[in-house]
């Protein structure tokens, strides 16, 4: 591709080579005679950062000049992964940089491995935020991300004796060339203390006198767009002590408490919280949330005031804040606090502005993930905000009294109680809780789910009453993923083949053009090329498996993949049960019969929350079953099972392009959307899944491309109960007659067939109705899951048809580009328009 030449920085290989050497010397203190891979990576990154800054400044200058409406994506998580190749390719510098590196004796791909992932997120929600930033920059939309610069990101997973161990993610030790520290951008953030009230006439003035203060310092991470000069910004906040340390205590010889303030302040942004439900450390999490949201809102208001002074009624024309789940919801109270207490607006004006600038996305209906903060904790750390929330709640309930005045009294009161923002803990009526999702719905102009089924479910479950009151507030925005990272850069051979076939690379920013691949599915020559690319990607994953496990795998086997956080609702356990079944079947066969078995390499990867015992059991079971199968000489040529450690963005980039089959088998109604399903579809991996989350829309797109006669589900391997039947089936699970093959496998596990463990708690969680209830209905879906697995084998034997489908998957994946998602947010929620640097 030809690069738009507006940069002042030269990009010819010779200049890049000498500049990288200069960076090695002057930035990293290295020796230009001994450039190690790490130094070369750093020199390169420092060089690229200058390109990024140049473009970011040009973009920000234009935006400052034109003053368009901005979207601010508030998120506690941004799972960015690595930046080197993404930057080089977005800046269209691949060729000269690859050459420059050759002069240094390195290859770009090898150097790229030196970069540590920025793992500032748990999973789907954090990676979605990263894909959204990519799409916003690529589509020239004025917008920034705002989040937290965690010193330690998602823990590193180590498997020791089959068991998950968590090791801190020290990702910043070698420095981070992709961020720019901004000591000039700092805001105070306060906690605790008391309220002082002065009444003058009818007006009550509230002053918050906090007893703790920290400083939020900005770090800017430039976000390059693809095929555009525009470069967005992800602003991450670090917390610092107001005084580096307490000189007074130090002078008195009390050295330890002199460092106290520093330690307490820095603790706020020290570590990303894993998705677990332990109450421990909850207060710090609330402090984290308030910390980054307060700094972000202060920052936005400061910029707004520079241009518009105190004309705050203009704010809704200039700014929109998207709340990525409830984590930043305290921002609603903070906006009221800033407008009323700091800017002197009256309540009605402040509340009117607030509800016009916030929009809320829900990402899960798992009850344990819906945030509810004890009033006691909230009052201790944020007394003014607690009071603001109580006022919002009072007015909200008064509004409901009016709105529901036609209802019989008792019914009305029950509805109001169900919609209250502050309500008693259902398990302990003494304790009052702030329901953050309710606050988010009341304080936002729009609420959206992340796939059609999920958006429908929230309207009839967790937000049913709210939907009755505000039917128009609720929208759907089906998730999407960036085709740049997940196809163009991580599967370059496939991207090249697609471009060759379509005769243009325009599909990279207009994914609907992938539909043009449809006729190629019928072209035997093309199918051959398509399979060759897949095979090469499988070789690359094979090498990774060897590196991680020491084993060689046959890359002509079917690669069957399930990668995602380990959770009971995602049902990795069900996957293992079918692998055990396959093992039993092969063991029972004669050597002659075994010749007809389709060889499979099954891969499972993902992290378990550190306190989630059942999830950790599943990891141990995968390891133990894998050990048995992979060392069994009768079976190992036909079946393998591997648990790959430390699943992260970079590992996903190797795994996804190599998948023949991928599994998305959550109990219907539990997975809000899923986003890896979209990545697998783009990369031509066939999907085995339930009718859940975005699987449904993926199935619709795959049906549509096959023509008017195809039904939803054709071309995929779909199984399992219907979402609408789940509540009833849960009630009847006690009476459910389990399949004999299920009973046999459960007996095997309980007997200790796999490793020296009987996995009692795990087995009980799906069998003993007094313990676990099989809440996710593994037993109900077991038989149809095995049936559909047989269909997979049968289809694999017809490689022509398999590859044909693979091509149709990619061809129909255009809808799931994050560009589509973001343009819907921009038009239907944010009302922001593109503004491109010429
Ligand atoms: C889950 C859990 C599970 C139990 C313990 C506490 C806890 C806390 C948080 C979460 C998940 C947070 C929300 C989340 O990551 N949702 C995911 O969002 C993706 C992007 O929209 C979506 O594709 C996934 O289906 C959804 O699970």
Q: Express each pLDDT in 518-554 by its tens digit.
A: 999 999 999 999 999 999 999 999 999 999 999 999 9
569 CA → ligand 1 middle, Å: 11
pLDDT at residue 274 in the model: 86
SS3 call for 221? strand
Per-residue pLDDT reduced to its tens digit, 640-670: 999 999 999 999 999 999 999 999 999 999 9
Ligand 1 within 6 A of 692 CB? Answer: no
Q: Is the CB of 374 under 6 A from ligand 1?
A: no
Q: Is the pLDDT assigned to residue 296 strictly greater than 60?
A: yes
ipTM confidence score: 0.94
**Ligand 1: centre distance to CA 25 (Å):** 44
Q: Which residues contact 545 (CB under 8 A, 6 or more apart)?
A: 551, 553, 601, 603, 642, 644
Whether 436 lines ligand 1, by a CB cut-off of 6 Å, is no
- pLDDT tens string 161-182: 999 999 999 999 999 999 999 9
- Tell me which of 838 and 419 has the higher pLDDT: 419
Distance 366 CA to ligand 1 centre (A): 8
Closest CA to 116 of 162, 63, 177: 177
Name the residue of 448, 672, 693 whose CB sits within 8 Å of the most ligand 1 atoms, as the mutation to test its pocket.
672
Q: Is the CB of 276 under 6 A from ligand 1?
A: yes
Q: How confident is the model at residue 2, as a pLDDT?
A: 43
Two structure tokens written together for 626: 């894998």
| Ligand 1 mean position, distance from CA 288 (Å) | 19
- Cα distances from 52 to residues 21, 63, 67, 359, in angstroms, run 19, 16, 22, 30
Residue that is last in its domain, among 367, 395, 428: 367
Query: Given 3-state DSSP classes, what are the helix, strand and coil percentages for the chain, each rounded to the nearest 5?
Result: 50, 15, 30
For residue 364 and ligand 1, the question of a CB distance below 6 A is answered with yes
Is residue 363 annotated as a catalytic residue, yes or no?
A: yes
Tell me how crowded residue 713 is: count the other CB atoms within 10 A of its CB.
Answer: 17
Position in ligand 1 atom list of the atom nearest CA 325: 13
Q: How far is the CA of 123 from the centre of ligand 1 (A)?
A: 7
- With beta carbons less than 8 A apart as the criterion, state whether 779 and 742 touch: yes
Q: What is the pLDDT of residue 1?
A: 41
Confidence class for position 367, pLDDT limits 50, 70, 90: confident
Average pLDDT over residues 22-43: 90
Residue 787's domain comprises: 486-816
Closest CA relative to residue 235, chosen from 296, 298, 171, 150? 296
The pLDDT assigned to 588 comes to: 98
What residue spans of 339-450 are helical by DSSP H? 347-357, 375-381, 383-403, 409-419, 436-443
In this structure, is residue 433 part of a structural domain? no
Catalytic site residue from 156, 679, 804, 805 = 679
On whether residue 478 sits in a domain, the answer given is: no
Residue 672 CB less than 6 A away from ligand 1: yes
Residue 207 DSSP SS3: strand
Q: Work out how many domains the chain is built from and give that number.
A: 2
Residues 187-199 pLDDT 10s: 999 999 999 999 8
Q: Which two tokens stand for residue 86?
A: 């993404």
pLDDT one-digit tens code per residue, 83-115: 999 999 999 999 999 999 999 999 999 999 999
Query: What confidence category does residue 279 fall into, taking pLDDT thresholds of 50, 70 and 90?
Result: low
What is the arithmetic mean of pLDDT over 307-324?
Answer: 98
Region 754-774: mean pLDDT is 90
Mutate-to-test residue for ligand 1 from 275, 281, 451, 481, highest number of ligand atoms within 8 A of CB: 275
In this prediction, residues 138-147 reach a mean pLDDT of 98
Which residues, listed in sequence order, are joined to residue 323 by a DSSP beta bridge? 74, 360
Question: Per-residue pLDDT tens for 614-636?
Answer: 999 999 999 999 999 999 999 99
Q: Are 721 and 778 in contact (CB under 8 A)?
A: no
What is the C-alpha to C-alpha distance for residues 749 and 576, in angstroms, rounded to an integer? 11
Residue 365 CA to ligand 1 centre (angstroms) = 8
Which of these is catalytic: 49, 69, 287, 565? 565
Catalytically annotated residue among 11, 675, 810, 821: 675
Q: What is the DSSP letter of 115?
A: S
In this structure, what token pair is assigned to residue 261?
């303030």
Q: Is the CB of 480 under 6 A from ligand 1?
A: no
567 Cα: distance to centroid of ligand 1 (angstroms): 10
Query: Do 358 and 492 fall into the same domain?
Result: no
Nearest atom within ligand 1 for CA of residue 675: 23
Percent of the chain scored above 90 by pLDDT? 91
What was the pLDDT predicted at 258? 67
Question: Which position has the token pair 């002078």?
Answer: 251
Q: Among the three residues 303, 336, 367, which one is the final residue of a domain in this structure?
A: 367
In a domain, 613, yes or no: yes
Taking residues 112-133, what's their average pLDDT?
A: 97
Query: How close is the Cα of 477 to the center of ligand 1, in Å?
Result: 16
Q: Find the catalytic residue in 473, 570, 571, 581.
A: 570
Q: Is residue 460 part of a domain?
A: no
Average pLDDT, integer, range 428-446: 97
Would you list the DSSP string of 127-153? Answer: HHHHHHHHHHHHTT--EEEEEE--SB-
Query: What is the position in ligand 1's atom list of the atom closest to the CA of 126?
Result: 15
Q: Is the CB of 126 under 6 A from ligand 1?
A: no
Is there an atom of ligand 1 within 6 Å of 75 CB? Answer: no
Whether the pLDDT of residue 3 is over 50: the answer is no
Nearest CA to ligand 1 atom 23: 674
Q: Which of 281, 289, 369 to mutate to test the pocket of ligand 1 (most atoms within 8 A of CB)?
A: 369
Mean pLDDT score across all residues of the chain? 95
Given this model, what pLDDT does residue 769 score? 82
pLDDT at res. 280: 64
Task: Answer yes or no: is the C-beta of 366 below 6 A from any ligand 1 atom.
Answer: yes
| CA-to-CA dists, residue 320 to 78, 367, 827, 829, angstroms | 19, 28, 12, 9
In a domain? residue 439: no
Q: Which of 363, 457, 482 to mutate to test the pocket of ligand 1 (most atoms within 8 A of CB)?
A: 363
Average pLDDT on 48-69 reads: 96
Least confident of 12-26, 275-289, 411-425: 275-289
What is the structure's pLDDT at 550? Answer: 97
| Pocket mutation for ligand 1, best pick of 120, 123, 279, 613 (most atoms within 8 Å of C-beta) | 123
Catalytic residue among 363, 454, 473, 804: 363
Query: Which ligand 1 atom minimizes the distance to the CA of 609?
Result: 5
Query: In the predicted model, what is the mean pLDDT of residues 676-703?
Result: 98
Is 355 in the active site? Answer: no
Q: Is 277 in the pocket of ligand 1 (CB under 6 A)?
A: yes
3-state secondary structure (DSSP) of residue 337: helix
Is residue 361 located within the same domain as residue 504?
A: no
* Best residue among 124, 476, 610 to mutate for probing ligand 1, ranked by most atoms within 8 Å of CB: 124
Give residue 333 CA to ligand 1 midpoint distance, Å: 24
- Specify the CATH number for the domain of residue 772: 3.40.50.2000
Regarding the beta carbon of 314 and ligand 1, being less than 6 Å apart is answered no
Question: If you average pLDDT over each of 8-17, 222-231, 765-774, which comes out highest?
Answer: 222-231
**pLDDT attached to residue 33:** 86
Q: Could you tell me if the CB of 443 is within 6 A of ligand 1?
A: no
**Domain termination site, one of 344, 367, 390:** 367
Domain assignment present for 402: no
Place of tokens 């084998």: 793
Q: What is the dihedral of CA 322, 326, 332, 337, to 10 degrees?
A: -130
pLDDT tens per residue, range 334-355 = 999 999 999 999 999 999 999 9
Residue 128 CB less than 6 A away from ligand 1:
yes
Q: How far is the CA of 493 from the centre of ligand 1 (A)?
A: 32
Residue range 371-400, pLDDT digits in tens: 999 999 999 999 999 999 999 999 999 999
Give 637-648 pLDDT, tens digit per residue: 999 999 999 999
Determine the 3-state secondary structure of 652 from DSSP: helix
Cα separation of 104 and 370, whole Å?
52
| 5 within some domain | no
**Which of the following is catalytic: 23, 467, 564, 567?**
564
- If you measure from the C-alpha of residue 162 to the centroid of ligand 1, how many angstroms do you get, rounded to a whole number? 26
Confidence at residue 278, expressed as pLDDT on a 0 to 100 scale: 65
Cα 430 to the center of its chain, rounded Å: 36
Q: How far is CA 330 from CA 213, 291, 326, 448, 536, in A?
A: 18, 10, 8, 18, 49
pLDDT of res. 6: 59
Instruction: Please check whether residue 592 is in contact with residue 644, taking contact to mean a CB–CB distance below 8 angstroms.
Output: no
Q: 3-state DSSP call for residue 336?
A: helix
Ligand 1 atom at shortest distance from the alpha carbon of 361: 21
Q: Is 120 in the pocket of ligand 1 (CB under 6 A)?
A: no
The response to whether residue 611 sits with its C-beta less than 6 Å from ligand 1 reads no
Residue 754 lies in a domain: yes
565 is catalytic: yes
Q: Is 123 in the pocket of ligand 1 (CB under 6 A)?
A: yes
Strand partners, 166: 157
pLDDT in tens, 470-487: 999 999 999 999 999 999
């Amino acid at each position: 591709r030809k690069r738009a030449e507006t940069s002042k920085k030269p990009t010819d290989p010779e200049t890049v080579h000498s500049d990288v050497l200069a960076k090695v010397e002057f930035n990293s203190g290295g020796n230009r005679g001994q450039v190690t891979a790490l130094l070369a990576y750093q020199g390169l990154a420092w060089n690229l950062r200058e390109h990024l800054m140049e473009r970011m400044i040009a973009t920000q200058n234009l935006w400052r000049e034109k003053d368009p409406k901005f979207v601010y994506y508030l998120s506690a998580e941004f799972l960015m992964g690595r930046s080197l190749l993404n930057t080089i390719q977005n800046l269209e510098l691949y060729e000269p940089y690859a050459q420059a590196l050759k002069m240094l004796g390195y290859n770009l791909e090898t150097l790229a491995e030196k970069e540590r992932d920025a793992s500032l997120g748990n999973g789907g929600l954090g990676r979605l935020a990263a894909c959204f930033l990519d799409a916003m920059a690529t589509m020239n939309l004025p917008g920034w991300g705002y989040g937290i610069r965690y010193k330690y990101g998602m823990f590193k997973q180590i498997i020791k004796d089959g068991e998950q161990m968590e090791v801190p993610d020290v990702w910043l030790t070698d420095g981070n060339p992709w961020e720019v520290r901004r000591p000039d951008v700092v805001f105070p953030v306060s906690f605790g203390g008391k309220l002082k009230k002065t009444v003058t006439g009818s007006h009550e003035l509230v002053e918050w006198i906090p007893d703790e203060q920290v400083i939020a310092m900005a770090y800017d991470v430039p976000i390059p767009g693809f095929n555009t000069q525009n470069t967005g910004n992800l602003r991450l906040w670090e917390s610092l002590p107001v005084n580096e340390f307490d000189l007074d205590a130090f002078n008195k010889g009390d050295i330890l408490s002199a460092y106290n303030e520093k330690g307490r302040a820095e603790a706020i942004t020290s570590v990303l919280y894993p998705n677990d439900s332990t109450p421990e450390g909850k207060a710090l999490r609330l402090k984290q949330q308030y910390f980054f949201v307060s700094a972000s809102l202060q920052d936005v208001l400061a910029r707004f005031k520079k241009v518009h002074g105190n004309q705050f009624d203009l704010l809704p024309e200039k700014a929109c804040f998207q709340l990525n789940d409830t984590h930043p919801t305290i921002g609603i109270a903070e906006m009221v606090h800033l407008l009323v207490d700091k800017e002197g607006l009256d309540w009605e004006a402040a509340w009117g502005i607030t509800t016009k600038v916030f929009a809320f996305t829900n990402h899960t209906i798992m009850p344990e993930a819906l945030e509810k903060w004890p009033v006691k904790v909230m009052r201790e750390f944020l007394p003014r905000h607690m009071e603001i929330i109580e006022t919002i709640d009072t007015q909200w309930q008064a509004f409901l009294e009016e709105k529901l005045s036609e209802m019989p009294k008792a019914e009305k009161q029950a509805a109001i109680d169900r919609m209250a923002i502050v309500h008693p803990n259902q398990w302990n009526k003494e304790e009052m809780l702030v329901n953050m999702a309710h606050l988010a719905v009341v304080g936002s102009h729009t609420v959206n789910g992340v796939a059609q089924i999920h958006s429908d479910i929230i309207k009839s479950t967790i937000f049913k009453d709210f939907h009755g009151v505000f039917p128009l507030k609720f929208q759907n925005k089906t998730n999407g993923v960036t085709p740049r990272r997940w196809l163009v850069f991580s599967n370059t051979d496939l991207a090249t083949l697609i471009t060759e076939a379509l005769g243009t690379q325009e599909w990279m920013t207009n994914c609907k053009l992938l539909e043009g691949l449809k006729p190629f599915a019928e072209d035997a020559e093309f199918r051959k090329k398509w399979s060759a690319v897949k095979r090469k990607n499988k070789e690359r994953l094979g090498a990774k498996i060897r590196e991680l496990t020491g084993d060689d795998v046959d890359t002509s086997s079917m690669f069957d993949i399930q990668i995602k956080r380990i959770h009971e609702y995602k049902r990795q356990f069900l996957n293992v049960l079918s692998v055990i079944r396959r093992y039993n079947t092969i063991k029972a066969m004669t050597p002659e019969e075994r010749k007809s078995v389709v060889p499979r390499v099954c891969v499972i990867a993902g992290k378990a929350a550190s306190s989630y015992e059942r999830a950790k059991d599943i990891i141990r079971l995968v390891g133990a079953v894998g050990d048995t199968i992979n060392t069994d000489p009768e079976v190992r040529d036909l079946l393998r099972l591997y648990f790959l450690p430390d699943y992260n963005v970079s590992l996903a980039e190797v795994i996804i392009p190599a998948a023949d089959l991928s599994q998305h088998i959550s109990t219907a109604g539990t997975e809000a959307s899923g986003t890896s399903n979209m990545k697998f579809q783009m990369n031509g991996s066939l999907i085995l899944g339930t009718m859940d989350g975005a699987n449904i829309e993926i199935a619709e797109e795959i049906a549509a491309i096959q023509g008017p006669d195809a039904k939803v589900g054709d071309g995929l391997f779909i199984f399992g109960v219907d979402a609408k039947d789940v509540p009833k089936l849960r009630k009847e699970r006690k009476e459910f007659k389990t399949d004999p093959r299920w009973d046999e496998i459960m007996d095997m596990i309980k007997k200790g067939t796999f490793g020296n463990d009987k996995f009692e708690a795990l087995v009980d969680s799906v069998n003993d109705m007094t313990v676990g209830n099989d809440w996710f209905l593994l037993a109900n879906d077991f038989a149809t899951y095995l049936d559909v697995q047989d269909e997979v084998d049968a289809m694999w034997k017809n490689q022509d048809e398999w590859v044909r489908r693979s091509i149709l998957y990619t061809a129909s994946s255009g809808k799931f580009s994050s560009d589509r998602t973001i343009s819907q947010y921009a038009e239907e929620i944010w009302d922001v328009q593109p503004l491109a640097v010429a």
